[in-house]
Structure 1
Amino acid sequence: MQIQKEKVEQAISYLNEGYADAWLIYASESSDPCLELVPGVATVGPGIFLFTKDGGRYAICSSIDAQDIEESGVFHEVIKHSPSIEEGLRELMLKVAPKRIALNYSIEEPLADGLTTGRYRWLMKALSEFPEVEFVSSEPFLTKLRSIKTKAELQAIHHAVNLTTTIYSECFRQLKAGMTEKEAGDLFVNALNDRGLVNGVDRTASRPIVMKENIAHRPPSDAVIDAGDLVIFDFSVEYAGYVSDIARTVYFLKEGETEPPKEIQQTFNVIYEAITMAKEALRPGAKGFEIDNIARQHYLSNGYPDITHATGHQIGRDVHDGGALLGPAWERYGEAPFMEIEAGMVFTIEPTIFMENGVHFIVEENVVVTEDGAEWLSERQHEVVCIPWEGEV
């Protein structure tokens, strides 16, 4: 529970920055997506978790849930709701007397929107005898809580990243022209199974994205990889609840070739430069749209097409971890590109190039923002990955 204990301390520190006097999470059947992060315990029956700015940590739960919650070591007090959860909540409110309570509802951030309409209405009825209490959205600090990683979280992410690059190296040594996308993806499944790991996207030992054509977020197909093909691999590994997100584009050498065609090498060079420029600009106080624009303008100034999506996103417990986005100021991204970058955030940098002539390239690296800038988490790709011609399988 080390990560959860660190996150509780982090949440309480944010309450002390003036967001609220207390943060209340109400869920059943572990319905709120923030429960894995804070407090890290599951519920079968209805459960209320209350954290206060003076350091209070309270749980109101059913007797069937109480033992695990007590043994977690996260809470100072675990209250079994008998005969009713309403009475337990009422007594806790009288004891704590918060004036401003943050609840998990949000218009734009799904990770901060775990309180359902029905549970919200129940809470308003249960707390109707406390008319002086103001309710606010937890989104501002819950987004920060999700985004800014603690020491233990960063260690888990870094380990997931190292596992990912190790598996890439292992699988690339086994690739051959003549394999199908599915067969290439199966190499990664074998590597996961050998290590007792799962894909960070769906938490099963599943194939990564493998695409020689029909570029989209899709599973591998029966398409056969030929010599001369560019193939995108997009892969994630989960470790201790945290994930990586790394993509590589591979060129399959034709018979007699020792290096990729000039056009492919030049495209990789421009991508490499864009990633370097974005990483060097990524530091506390910057805005996501500013970082995105650096990569975007580098492509356009070199005669390449505009990037069709964001340059990068956060990773953590999920491959798309919400919060600040290294993206353009497009309506579909809402306020995420305008959020301020802070130390402890972990991002992908993946400015993609899709050209009408079939040259398609994704190079995706993982970085952590520090007080002084950004540092690589992934072993960076410095050259085009080329698979030697060995005859087709």
Structure 2
Amino acid sequence: MGVLSSTIDVPTARGRLARLRGLTEAAGVSAVLVSPGSDLRYLIGVGGGSFERLTALVVPADPAVAPCFVVPKLEYAGLGHIPFDDLEVEVRPWVDGEDAHALALAGLPPGPMAFSDTTTALHLFQLRDAGATDQRPAWPIVRELRMRKTPEELAELRAAGAAIDRVHSRIAEWLRPGRTEREVGSDIAAAIVEEGHAAAEFVIVGSGPNGSSPHHALSDRVIERGDVVVVDIGGPLPSGYCSDSTRTYAVGRAPEPDVASAYAALQASHQAAVDAVRPGVTCQDVDRAARRVLVEAGLGDHFIHRTGHGIGLDVHEEPYIVEGNVLPLESGMTFSIEPCIVFQGRWGARIEDIVAVTADGAERFNNRPRDLVVIPG
């Protein structure tokens, strides 16, 4: 299988294409080539991934030159519901043996071209050989479209947050001593779909020492009474907009005093970051707010990743909440707030909410308790 598709209404898609043209011209490039991935889904509702056969949307900066969609003829049959004519996008189907890369470049004025992140080296090299010798990244252009969510996108992310909250509310059904992380994770993955997601994109159940590895995923370790367990889960709604939320649980009994003390500092760090969010504040300012609390608590060395990442059609996208990113926040931007503490080989903890920047602060899309919840057992 190659190209997949979703739905997008014509006025939205036309508006996004028009804005992309303007941004492309402002960036000083002649055209943007968008390969299958979330950018293509965002622009015209076509999803899927890149394969050896070229599929690409080419959007010229010159409004006199129509955008074109280059697609293998064998995939085009599955895209009959995409309103290319209404979008004023020229479709260029091709068959094996034709030079699809030259077809994508036909009719373009000379000049540098920008390419989306999902354009593989296989296609970049062939496009270069076909004439696109001055190649530039498209992410600085496309991110300007996608970073600020519309009310409709915010509604989808709000719904995704509520859906993943419902899964966290059920964790006590599955998390107990004597079960493996993998068994618990399998139940959680099923619940993610039951609660309204199209799929479970990731399920992390990090128990005891495995909680000190932020991207641990699952293992056959048997959960023990007294374990601190990190549960980080998420996935896309049918619309494609994603959830991502982490809570930390204590199994069977209240945590030891040193664990409780460190976790209290983590809660304060999380709240400080949320309180820092408002228009005009930079991404690194939010990261610093979270980090400052943990440093003052003597836990700075145990916070080993950035404070957050943007979210939308991708779980990880712009903007990134990290030291060195001086991008000012704007209303409509959405991202995670997820400080962590890890004690290598012993335990770890993370609290993660998705927030949206509002006119005067932050709206949380996740609202489950942020305490270290004790699961009986």
TM over 0.5: yes
1:136-285 correspondence to structure 2 within 5 Å = 137-192=137-192, 194-195=194-195, 197=197, 199-201=199-201, 207-214=203-210, 215-216=212-213, 217-239=215-237, 240-254=239-253, 259-285=254-280
User: Counterpart in 2 of 1:103?
Assistant: 114
User: Counterpart in 1 of 2:128?
Assistant: 121
> TM-score scaled by structure 1?
0.76
Matched, 1:292 2:278: no
Q: How far is 1:279 from its partner?
A: 1.2
Letter of the 1:59 partner, please give it: C
Q: Any idea what SS the aligned residue of 2:329 has?
A: coil
Q: Any idea what SS the aligned residue of 1:142 has?
A: helix
Gaps of 5+ in 2: 1-6
Q: How far is 1:382 from its partner?
A: 3.6
User: Counterpart in 1 of 2:44?
Assistant: 39
Q: Any idea what SS the aligned residue of 2:272 has?
A: helix
Query: Across the two proteins, how many residue pairs are aligned to each other?
Result: 354
User: Counterpart in 1 of 2:15?
Assistant: 9
Matched, 1:376 2:361: no
Kept after mapping to 2: 8 A contact 1:4/1:40: no
For the aligned residues, what is the CA RMSD?
Answer: 3.5
Separation in 2, partners of 1:8, 1:265: 53
**For the structure 1 residues 278 and 285, does the alpha-carbon distance in structure 2 shift closer, same or farther, using more than 3 Å as the test?**
same
Of all paired residues, the percent bearing the same amino acid is 23
Separation in 1, partners of 2:258, 2:38: 45
Cα deviation, 1:132-175, whole Å, max 9, x if unaligned, reads: xx975433221223333233332222222211110111132443
1:12-31 correspondence to structure 2 within 5 Å = 12-13=18-19, 15-16=21-22, 18-20=26-28, 23-25=31-33, 27=35, 30=36
Q: How far is 1:15 from its partner?
A: 4.0
Stretch moving more, 259-268 or 111-120? 111-120
Separation in 2, partners of 1:238, 1:168: 16
Gaps of 5+ in 1: 129-133, 330-336
> TM-score scaled by structure 2?
0.79
Stretch moving more, 9-18 or 234-243? 9-18
**For the structure 1 residues 197 and 373, does the alpha-carbon distance in structure 2 shift closer, same or farther, using more than 3 Å as the test?**
closer
Kept after mapping to 2: 8 A contact 1:66/1:78: no
User: Counterpart in 2 of 1:333?
Assistant: none
Matched, 1:311 2:307: yes
Kept after mapping to 2: 8 A contact 1:66/1:80: no
Separation in 2, partners of 1:119, 1:25: 13
**For the structure 1 residues 242 and 293, does the alpha-carbon distance in structure 2 shift closer, same or farther, using more than 3 Å as the test?**
same
Letter of the 1:182 partner, please give it: R
1:349-368 correspondence to structure 2 within 5 Å = 349-355=337-343, 358-368=346-356
Separation in 1, partners of 2:204, 2:372: 19
Q: How far is 1:379 from its partner?
A: 1.0
Separation in 1, partners of 2:76, 2:88: 13
Kept after mapping to 1: 8 A contact 2:40/2:57: no
